């Protein structure tokens, strides 16, 4: 007997002609558990599930079941972490369901170093006294955006909520264009955010056209702020009009500008239609809010940049502690922001930017490698930015097209691998898009 366990003999069950006899002869939970090399509680749970599954299988008319193998499979599944790495072959660069932006190598190293032991999260090493976690990134954010001050919180939605609460809470008005009363992923709605902040929503203009005089008529003694929300994951075309950030900032009340995806790169052509954080700061917005894990290419975070007094008001608000950023996200964000000091370095090392500006020859080589490994062919398809950014931008490039009469089945087989591979289905084929894969991921997938 190996490891002092009883032999597995007799735990593989062959059904007799008498179904009742087959069911009676199923091994007991205790016997199956004793054959498993696992802590007692886990072994019993896996054994119970395996015996129950075997009973259902026999009742369904199957003639043979292996109870022990089933228990071992359940143990292996229980040992795997629920949250784990996957290979994104969908072609959606900022895929919300797959964790949005993958981190740069420098950011991953910073997280590992910070997680290994203690860190000076809120400790001033020079002065030997309590410090602020914001000190690690505020200077960098201001340097990159031209802002006077900055505050970083745990996500973009929290940034907008905190800004509205600090500038217009306790029943003051927040003025918003009807064309910007948007809903983004997860049923995050601008009217709900304003309501949660304690402010009163004042709608102006129409769905498709809002003019400067619409704002002017709505302003008064109760106005706490004007909120400008980027439409993000959709766009309106045709008979439309909106007021630019420069004109809004000249109206007088503080402007909260939610620019969404956090575009920091000023030179990448693919991002030309996405609002720039630096432009909004230069226009005089009181607070500009954006996400850290979208086009910025960092961890989940919410960046708030702008003028000193409005940022100080958000820092002093009680909600600021409830939405503060954690140390690991802070470490990743600092490392990501440091890359942006050199735009060329950022475009090479920040994965999101590198994917958007990928070399067509590199993509074709990856697609050919995948197509050869899976018996498919190279075809042209369009990738998307995702994450609520640039909904009309189509990134054309080569993909590996794998024709299959049952593409759903093939996609499911790819998902159960280690690591799982997430592709996309188009007609009777599974597409593997190399834009959102690394060379190492392509090679590992081809060698399965």
Contact 287, 308 (CB under 8 A): no
Instruction: List the structure tokens of 158.
Output: 């929290």
Domains and CATH numbers, the chain: 2-79 (no CATH), 87-96+353-446 (3.90.1150.180), 105-349 (3.40.640.10)
Cβ partners under 8 Å of residue 250, min gap 6? 284
> So what's the pLDDT on residue 183?
82
Return the pLDDT at 4. Answer: 45
Tell me whether strands 302-306 and 149-153 are parallel, antiparallel or unpaired.
antiparallel
Per DSSP bridges, beta strands 287-291 and 255-260 are parallel
What pLDDT is attached to residue 392?
Answer: 75
CA 335 from chain centre, in angstroms, equals 18
Structure tokens, 300: 């989940």
| Cα–Cα dist 277/287, whole Å | 10
Q: How far apart, in whole angstroms, are the C-alpha atoms of residue 158 and residue 323?
A: 6
Contact by Cβ (8 Å): 288, 304:
yes
Q: What is the pLDDT, as a whole number, of residue 3?
A: 42
Helix (H) or strand (E) holding 348: helix 343-349
Show pLDDT as tens, one digit a residue, over the chain (448 residues).
344 444 444 565 554 456 777 788 899 999 999 999 999 999 999 999 999 999 999 888 887 889 999 999 999 999 999 999 999 999 999 999 999 999 999 999 999 999 999 999 999 999 999 999 999 999 999 999 999 999 999 999 999 999 999 999 888 999 999 999 988 766 678 899 999 999 999 999 999 999 999 999 999 999 999 999 988 777 778 888 999 999 999 999 999 999 988 889 988 999 888 899 999 999 999 999 999 999 999 999 999 999 999 999 999 999 999 999 999 999 999 999 999 999 999 999 999 999 999 999 999 999 999 999 999 999 999 999 988 778 778 899 999 999 999 999 999 999 998 899 999 999 999 999 999 999 999 999 998 7
pLDDT at site 235 = 78
CA distances from 229 to 40, 156, 288, 386 (A): 55, 12, 10, 18
Write down the pLDDT at residue 10: 53
Residue 248 contacts residue 218 (beta carbons within 8 Å): no
DSSP state of 28: P
Q: Considering only CA atoms, which of 436, 389, 179 is closest in space to residue 291?
A: 389
What is the dihedral sign for C-alpha 155, 157, 163, 169? negative
């Amino acid at each position: 007997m190996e490891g002092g366990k009883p032999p597995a003999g007799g735990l593989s069950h062959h059904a007799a002609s008498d179904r009742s006899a087959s069911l009676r002869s199923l091994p007991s939970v205790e016997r199956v558990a004793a054959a498993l090399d696992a802590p007692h509680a886990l072994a019993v749970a896996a054994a119970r599930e395996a015996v129950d599954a075997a009973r259902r299988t026999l009742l369904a008319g199957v003639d043979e079941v292996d109870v022990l193998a089933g228990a071992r499979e359940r143990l292996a599944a229980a040992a795997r972490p629920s949250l784990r790495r996957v290979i994104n072959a969908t072609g959606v660069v900022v895929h919300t369901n797959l964790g949005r932006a993958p981190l740069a190598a420098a950011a991953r190293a910073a997280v590992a170093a910070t997680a290994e032991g203690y860190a000076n999260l809120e400790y001033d090493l020079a002065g030997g006294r309590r410090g602020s976690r914001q000190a690690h990134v505020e200077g960098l954010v201001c340097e990159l955006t031209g802002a006077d001050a900055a505050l970083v919180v745990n996500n973009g939605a929290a940034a907008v909520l905190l800004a509205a609460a600090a500038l217009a809470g306790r029943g003051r008005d927040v003025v918003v264009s009807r064309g910007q009363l948007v809903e983004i992923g997860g049923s995050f709605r601008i009217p709900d955010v304003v309501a949660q902040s304690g402010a009163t929503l004042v709608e102006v203009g129409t769905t498709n056209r809002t003019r400067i005089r619409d704002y002017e008529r709505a302003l008064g003694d109760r106005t706490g702020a004007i909120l400008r929300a980027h439409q993000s994951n959709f766009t309106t075309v045709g008979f439309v009009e909106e007021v630019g950030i420069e004109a809004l900032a000249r109206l007088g009340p503080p402007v909260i500008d939610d620019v969404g995806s956090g575009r920091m790169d000023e030179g990448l052509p693919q991002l030309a239609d996405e609002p720039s954080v630096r432009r909004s700061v230069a226009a005089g917005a009181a607070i500009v809010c954006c996400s850290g894990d979208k086009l910025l290419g960092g961890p989940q975070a919410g960046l708030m940049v702008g003028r000193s007094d409005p940022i100080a008001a958000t820092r002093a608000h009680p909600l600021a502690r409830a939405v503060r950023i954690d140390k690991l996200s802070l470490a990743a964000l600092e490392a990501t922001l440091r890359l942006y000091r050199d735009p060329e370095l950022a475009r090479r090392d920040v994965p999101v930017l590198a994917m958007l500006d990928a070399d067509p020859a590199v993509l074709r080589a990856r697609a050919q490698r995948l197509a050869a490994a899976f018996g498919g062919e190279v075809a042209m398809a369009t990738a998307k930015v995702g994450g609520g950014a640039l909904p009309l931008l189509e990134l054309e490039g080569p993909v590996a097209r794998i024709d299959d009469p049952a593409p759903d089945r093939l996609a499911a087989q790819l998902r159960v691998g280690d690591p799982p591979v997430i592709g996309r289905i188009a007609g009777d084929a599974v597409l593997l898009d190399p834009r959102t894969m690394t060379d190492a991921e392509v090679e590992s997938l081809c060698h399965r």
